Amino acid sequence: MITSQVNQLLSCTLEILQMMLESGAEIYRVEESARRVCQAYGARRADVYATTSNIILSVEVAEDEIKTHTRRIQQIVTDIERMDRLNSLVRRMASERPELSEVRREIEAIKHTPVYSDPVTILFYGITAGAFYVFFGGRSLWGALYGTLIGLCVGVLSILFGRMQTNRFLGRFLCSLFACSAAFAGHGMGLAGDVGFLIIGNIMTLIPGVGLTNSLRDLFAGDSISGALRMIDALILAASIACGYIVTIFLFGGVAG
Amino acid sequence: MTPWIEIIAAFFGTLGFAFLFNIRGSKLWYAALGGMLAWALFLLLAPVVPNEAGRYFIVSVCTTCGAEVMARLLKTPASTFCIIWLLPLVPGGALYYTMTYGLAGEWMLFAEKAVYTIELAVALSLGIVLVTAAVRHLPYFKSKKCPKQAQKTR
């Protein structure tokens, strides 16, 4: 392999790995993908170390030719469609070994994986909140509708904070503060029987469930550092949500049953 | 009546999350149906396994197995379905009550609910982790298709 090709292989692989991590893949999947791809393209040895915040990939193609590149991972947003496409690309690279220029084109296509438009996302924030209101025991129709309404607003807020690149913890705190306050306000107006179900329904959309699950998977797969990092991240997010609730209680005074 | 309402609500709740996680096409419906079935299984097992944490564990194991099978059929990462199917089991309610009791200063109830929440979360994740760990051994029995690189070079 000539130098330019090695560089290209490294940059393509890293691009794939970075996108995988950013769409919420586990560490072992990322590392295994790197090894498989590099070996398929003729590397004598490929060493990869990935955490939730960076990737180091070192490839040895000949005795005197070893290359190492790194990437910084900024933020992780669960995107299952993208993860799925990346996974198929890795499979194809490992088995068919397509030209790197073709891989490059494929990567560009994956970068532009469609996401649901803002209105659809907002709508499903609402539906999720409404559904979990009922799921956890809320039985009034008005309550369900009001829960959905709060969910829609939380969806708008989440998207807005995402756009403004608000600090994630602050964003969760504000969403939680809004949802809990709105639930209490609705309760005051007699819209919902129980504040609790309204709040639980909306908290469900904010809870870092995926982060926590992935943290445990990493931990048990032996990737302790990433597991611990994800765990800390999820716990701080959960604490931010709890803070939103606590501040609401202080504002509205007392605990409604 | 209540179980049916819960099962239907689980369907829509999971469907909503499937959209938020950018799941597309027919997989949306698999996701929502799986979430619904996971909760149905949880309710069905109630007479057999009265302990909720125990039931969480069993449902978690079954669901993760299902997700692994699904992943192989559809050639997609198993975590796709595993995480989303178990969403109705996320102990959001228990967590909320823990917070409420804590804030109200009802320490006995708070401790009780806190332990209960942790129990559920541990049961849930233990199920996922056990199955995932077991499944990763499968290629070892099947073939030597992707041997670990470290063994090769050293």
From CA A142, how far away is CA A190, in angstroms rounded? 10
Name the more confident of A4 and B108. Answer: B108
The whole-number pLDDT of residue A38 equals 92
Q: How confident is the model at residue B141 (pLDDT cuts 50, 70, 90)?
A: low
Instruction: Please tell me the total count of domains within chain A.
Output: 2
User: In this structure, are A69 and A193 located in the same domain?
Assistant: no
Minimal CA separation from B15 to chain A, in Å: 8
* Inter-chain CB proximity B19 and A120 less than 8 Å: yes
Residue of chain B with shortest Cα separation from A238: B95
User: In this structure, are A181 and A103 located in the same domain?
Assistant: no
Residue A66 maps to a domain: yes
Q: What is the mean pLDDT of residues A93-121?
A: 93
What are the residue ranges spanned by the domains of chain B?
2-143
Q: What is the mean pLDDT of residues A155-166?
A: 93
* Inter-chain CB proximity A216 and B128 less than 8 Å: yes
Residue length, chain A?
A: 257
User: In this structure, are A150 and A201 located in the same domain?
Assistant: yes
The whole-number pLDDT of residue B149 equals 43
Q: What strand order describes the sheet that includes A45-50?
A: A45-50, A54-62, A65-72
From CA B111, how far away is CA A171, in angstroms rounded? 29
pLDDT for B12-52, tens place per residue? 999 999 999 999 888 899 999 999 999 999 999 999 988 99
Closest CA to B85 of B133, B4, B23, B139: B23
From CA A81, how far away is CA A152, in angstroms rounded? 23
User: In this structure, are A155 and A210 located in the same domain?
Assistant: yes
* Inter-chain CB proximity B146 and A32 less than 8 Å: yes
**How many angstroms separate the most distant Cα atoms in chain A?**
76
Q: A-B interface: how many C-beta pairs under 8 angstroms?
A: 149
How confident is the prediction for chain A on average, in pLDDT?
90
Q: Which residue has the tokens 């030719």?
A: A65
User: In this structure, are A194 and A240 located in the same domain?
Assistant: yes
Asked whether residue A170 carries a pLDDT value surpassing 50, the answer given is yes
Residue A257 maps to a domain: no
Q: Which of B16, B75, B132 lies at the smallest CB-CB distance from A128? A: B16
* B26 in reach of chain A (CB within 8 A): no
Residue A158 maps to a domain: yes
What amino acid is encoded at A196 in this protein? G
Is residue A8 within 8 A of residue A67, CB to CB? The reply is: no
Q: Is A3 exposed, middle or buried (0-12, 13-18, 19+ CB in 10 A)?
A: exposed
The whole-number pLDDT of residue B137 equals 77
The whole-number pLDDT of residue A1 equals 64
The whole-number pLDDT of residue A187 equals 83
The whole-number pLDDT of residue A192 equals 66
Asked whether residue B9 carries a pLDDT value surpassing 90, the answer given is yes
Tell which phi-psi region holds residue A142, choosing left (phi > 0), alpha (psi between -120 and 50) or beta: alpha
Residue A124 maps to a domain: yes
- Per DSSP, A138 falls in state -
User: In this structure, are A191 and A71 located in the same domain?
Assistant: no
User: In this structure, are A94 and A166 located in the same domain?
Assistant: no
In this structure, of A185-194, A202-211, B42-51, the range with the lowest mean pLDDT score is: A185-194
Q: From the CB of residue B135, how many other CB atoms can be counted at a distance below 10 Å?
A: 17
The whole-number pLDDT of residue A231 equals 92
Residue ending a domain, choose from A111, A131, A161: A111
Q: Which residues of B touch A82 (CB under 8 A)?
A: 22
The whole-number pLDDT of residue A85 equals 93
Minimal CA separation from A128 to chain B, in Å: 5
Q: Which of B80, B129, B148 lies at the smallest CB-CB distance from A216? A: B129
User: In this structure, are A247 and A122 located in the same domain?
Assistant: yes
Q: What is the DSSP string of B3-42?
A: HHHHHHHHHHHHHHHHHHTT--TTHHHHHHHHHHHHHHHH
Q: Which of B6, B129, B146 lies at the smallest CB-CB distance from A217? A: B129
* B122 in reach of chain A (CB within 8 A): no
User: In this structure, are A122 and A159 located in the same domain?
Assistant: yes
Residue ending a domain, choose from A87, A111, A135: A111
The whole-number pLDDT of residue B142 equals 61
- What does the angle CA B116 – CA B118 – CA B122 come to, to the nearest 5 degrees? 120
Q: Which domain holds residue A229?
A: 118-252
User: In this structure, are A234 and A123 located in the same domain?
Assistant: yes
User: In this structure, are A181 and A105 located in the same domain?
Assistant: no
Q: What is the mean pLDDT of residues A140-163?
A: 93
Beta bridge pairs of residue A67: A59
The whole-number pLDDT of residue B148 equals 46
pLDDT for A31-78, tens place per residue? 999 999 999 998 889 999 999 999 999 999 888 888 999 999 988 888
From CA A227, how far away is CA A48, in angstroms rounded? 17
Helices (H), A112-223: 118-135, 141-163, 168-188, 195-206, 209-221
Percent of chain A with pLDDT over 70: 96
Q: How far is CA A70 from CA A9, A15, A18, A141, B80, in A?
A: 13, 10, 10, 53, 27
Q: What is the mean pLDDT of residues B80-91?
A: 87
* B83 in reach of chain A (CB within 8 A): yes
Residue ending a domain, choose from A111, A133, A165: A111
User: In this structure, are A74 and A171 located in the same domain?
Assistant: no
Asked whether residue A254 carries a pLDDT value surpassing 70, the answer given is no
Beta bridge pairs of residue A56: A49, A70
